[in-house]
Chain A
Amino acid sequence: MSAITDPPQGSFRLSMLINDTRYRSYTFQALAAIVLALCLGFFYANVSTNLAAAGLNISYDFLGSPAGYDINQRLIEYDSQSSNARAAVVGILNTLLVAFLACVTATVFGVLAGVLRLSNNWLVSKLMAFYVEIFRNIPVLIWILIIFTIMIAVLPGPRAFRGDEPEARMLLDLFAFTNRGVYTPGPYFTRGLGLEGNGGINWLIVLGVLVASFFGTRAVTARANATQEATGIRPNTLWTNLAIWFLPVIVLLFVLGLKWDIPELKGFNFAGGIKVGGPLIALWFALSIYTGAFIAENVRAGIQAVSKGQTEAAGALGLRPGRIMSLVVLPQALRVIIPPLISQYLNITKNSSLAIAVGYADITATLGGITLNQTGRAIECVLLLMLFYLTISLLISTFMNIYNNSVKLKER
């Protein structure tokens, strides 16, 4: 780096692989690669000889054969005659569902708690400190079990809703809270496209309209910004934006004939509407409050990393506290908050594999649990599980890194 002024010329000698800084790093990298390859080779040989000695083989044929078991929460069509591969997909979707829900709510909890912890109100800030310390210092598995057990013990079974003088009643005659889950009214279409006018395509259309509205409001805001730059007066965009968000969707839902299906006690269980199962609620809630506590600390650290002078300077310019937060502090704090937030999202996704503790059918419970057990294909199933979690984690980090790049300090 510094000492070499005149690089030694001349022919290549073997000792240079160790002594010459130009080659040394390659030598060690090559050695490391060889060792790694040997280790992998060793594991591979070990597994295959031991499997052969036990009369077993590696085969993925089981993925095509009927799974034979039922799953209580399925986002796609599935029954016991479907293949093991399909059971795995059901599990993947359930994992993604709970991970997504928990990431959203954990972020909400975390941001609220993190901001409130810095509140000047002694009680509020101490309460938030209490929340953070309690929840992040008890393992998430315990939280999952606690919440699930409380749900089962405290909420009534569906039977309690029966009879003329039932022990339990539905909330507003719309929602039923039972120890098997929460039943809420579910929307459906009477004049839509697809099967019985109620195909999944209708929801895609709704989603499409919402995305269009999003870009619509973006355009309005951009125009407002341009006007402000040019004239110094910002046009009021609130009503236009609200109209762009709501009017098209409302018209569309009316055209498709949106109706609500109200849950109703039929036989052993409530039928109709949407069921949010007890295991999903317990897992979702536990992951959110647990990870929320960590995110709260990230948020607090991020805000405190922005020097006080910035807030004071913004105040001196006449900005109101809300705008100071959103225009000055948060944009800078986000740079500190986002990288650890990525790892919290990864944690949520990986921790969702504790689902089996409450009988939630995620990928670990279907492919890595029942399928593995009924087929005995342990190595195959575990390899697939590893592949799945690895892929998902890498995808999440990629997306979050892209976002991070867009907010991070642009150095020129």
Chain B
Amino acid sequence: MKNTVFFGALAVAGLSAGAAAAGTLDDVKARGTLNCGVTTGLVGFAAPDANGVWEGFDVGICRAVAAAVLGDADAVEFIPTTGKTRFTALASGEIDMLARNTTWTFSRDVDLKFEFVGINYYDGQGFLAPKALGVTSAKDLDGATVCVQTGTTTELNLADFFRANNISYEPVPIETNAEGQQQYLAGACDTYTTDASGLAATRATFENPGDHILLPEIISKEPLGPLVRHGDNDWGDTVRWTLNALITAEELGVTSANIEELAAAPTNNPEINRLLGTAGELGAMLGLEPNWAMMAIKAGGNYGELFEKNIGENTPIGLARGLNAMWTEGGLIYSPPFR
């Protein structure tokens, strides 16, 4: 009898702890900062600059969410995570959201119980090899030693690819991109494999990027996007629609340059007005200020601006928009309507 009461009390305590964890939006507001999980350092996506300020394409998403929720793009605590630690960090509540080149897969969504709020980069896995190796195709890699980050989809795709092509390899498991880069450059592995965008970003930091080639094969689909925990739909909506706001802004031609002007008074495009809060109640429905999307867009620019500034063709990383162009320009980037 006593025991039942005791365990009952425990159960209540446990449940209330669970319930507290569900209100991430309120937690973030109360805390005044957003805890955002990012990479341990991948130039262009998330890396601290010379002054220790985090910047990059994924960092841009974190800042946009912080701006939308807290009105301050700098109110973000960036928490570096490795391929291995990221999901534990998110599941345990150490971070509120994860923006770390993370692939949306069935098991991460359904089994690990995470919610991918969208896709901010359509990617695929590639191989980086020194030109001197004389390899022109990933299928020539029979017997090669391959550096691969553990805890990633990369290491599973790698096993599948070599198995399907009936060739062998020797994996060198590494924890972070920096470690992979070090071992690859020292020749401890013949080739480095990860998402093609990550390879481009890594190669851009080499002393002689021209000495290394990306092999033509792209062996997987890697839709990368930000994610939150399952079961907190309000918070999921907040992050999802912040990302959508950045995409819609590019589609509607709202940029960090003209946003002040467009937000000053209602324009004659109703969707811009709803987006920027000069008409409608979209912000209130999310539990945010009316100008939430405007703050998010102002933080680092719209989707296209973030892309060009961090990883686009005029940066050392030099990624073309390709699949990541707006749907209106033949790409896959598409946001549901703001209404």
CB distance from B133 to the nearest CB of A (A): 8
Q: Which of A28-67 contact B (CB under 8 A)?
A: 38, 41-42, 45-46, 49-50, 53-56
Give A42's nearest chain B residue, CB to CB. Answer: B10
Is A9 engaged at the interface, CB distance under 8 Å to the other chain?
no
Is A376 engaged at the interface, CB distance under 8 Å to the other chain?
yes
In the complex, the answer to whether A80 meets B150 with C-beta atoms within 8 Å is no
Question: Which of B35-43, B84-92, B322-330 makes up part of the contact surface?
Answer: B84-92
Give B158's nearest chain A residue, CB to CB. Answer: A70
Is B265 engaged at the interface, CB distance under 8 Å to the other chain?
no
Give A266's nearest chain B residue, CB to CB. Answer: B143
CA distance A268 to B144 in the complex (A): 5
Chain A residues with Cβ under 8 A from B175's Cβ?
Answer: 356-357
Is B18 engaged at the interface, CB distance under 8 Å to the other chain?
yes
Is B221 engaged at the interface, CB distance under 8 Å to the other chain?
no
Is A210 engaged at the interface, CB distance under 8 Å to the other chain?
no
- Among B143, B174, B189, contact of A267 (Cβ-Cβ < 8 Å): B143
CA distance A370 to B132 in the complex (A): 32
Interface string of A174-197 (1 = CB under 8 A from B): 000001100000000000000000
- Among B17, B143, B162, B174, contact of A50 (Cβ-Cβ < 8 Å): B17
CA distance A378 to B111 in the complex (A): 13
CA distance A334 to B188 in the complex (A): 43
CB distance from A236 to the nearest CB of B (A): 52
Is B331 engaged at the interface, CB distance under 8 Å to the other chain?
no
- Among A45, A153, A180, contact of B145 (Cβ-Cβ < 8 Å): A180
In the complex, the answer to whether A359 meets B143 with C-beta atoms within 8 Å is no
Give B157's nearest chain A residue, CB to CB. Answer: A68
B132, B160, B170 — most chain A CB neighbours (10 Å): B170
Q: Which of B120-176 contact A (CB under 8 A)?
A: 132-133, 141-145, 150-151, 155-156, 158-160, 162-163, 169-175
In the complex, the answer to whether B171 meets A70 with C-beta atoms within 8 Å is yes
Interface string of B169-189 (1 = CB under 8 A from A): 111111100000011001111
In the complex, the answer to whether A157 meets B188 with C-beta atoms within 8 Å is yes
Is B252 engaged at the interface, CB distance under 8 Å to the other chain?
no
Is A348 engaged at the interface, CB distance under 8 Å to the other chain?
no
Is B230 engaged at the interface, CB distance under 8 Å to the other chain?
yes
Give A361's nearest chain B residue, CB to CB. Answer: B173
CB distance from A388 to the nearest CB of B (A): 19
CB distance from B34 to the nearest CB of A (A): 21
Is B284 engaged at the interface, CB distance under 8 Å to the other chain?
no
- Among B182, B190, B231, contact of A55 (Cβ-Cβ < 8 Å): B231
In the complex, the answer to whether A72 meets B172 with C-beta atoms within 8 Å is yes
Interface string of B228-256 (1 = CB under 8 A from A): 01110000000000000000000000000
Is B14 engaged at the interface, CB distance under 8 Å to the other chain?
yes
Chain A residues with Cβ under 8 A from B320's Cβ?
Answer: none
Is A369 engaged at the interface, CB distance under 8 Å to the other chain?
yes
Chain A residues with Cβ under 8 A from B183's Cβ?
Answer: 152
CA distance A179 to B186 in the complex (A): 8
Is A131 engaged at the interface, CB distance under 8 Å to the other chain?
no
Is A79 engaged at the interface, CB distance under 8 Å to the other chain?
yes
CA distance A375 to B142 in the complex (A): 28
Is A278 engaged at the interface, CB distance under 8 Å to the other chain?
yes
Chain A residues with Cβ under 8 A from B91's Cβ?
Answer: 54, 376
CB distance from A112 to the nearest CB of B (A): 32
Chain B residues with Cβ under 8 A from A356's Cβ?
Answer: 150, 173, 175
- Among B141, B142, B171, B186, contact of A153 (Cβ-Cβ < 8 Å): B186
Q: State whether A45 and B10 are in contact (beta carbons under 8 Å apart), knowing that A152-B188, A268-B190, A373-B151 are contacts in the complex.
A: yes
In the complex, the answer to whether B160 meets A80 with C-beta atoms within 8 Å is yes
CA distance A365 to B173 in the complex (A): 9
CB distance from A141 to the nearest CB of B (A): 13
Q: State whether A373 and B188 are in contact (beta carbons under 8 Å apart), knowing that A269-B143, A269-B145 are contacts in the complex.
A: no
Is A69 engaged at the interface, CB distance under 8 Å to the other chain?
yes
CA distance A278 to B147 in the complex (A): 14
Q: State whether A152 and B186 are in contact (beta carbons under 8 Å apart), knowing that A266-B143, A268-B143, A269-B143 are contacts in the complex.
A: yes
Chain A residues with Cβ under 8 A from B159's Cβ?
Answer: 68-70, 80
Chain A positions within 8 Å of B, measured between CB atoms, are 38, 41-42, 45-46, 49-50, 53-56, 68-72, 79-81, 152-153, 156-157, 159, 179-180, 266-269, 271, 278, 356-357, 359, 361, 365, 369-370, 373-376, 378
9 A-B pairs with the lowest CB-CB distances in the bound complex, closest first: A49-B14, A157-B187, A53-B18, A80-B159, A373-B151, A376-B112, A267-B143, A45-B10, A268-B144
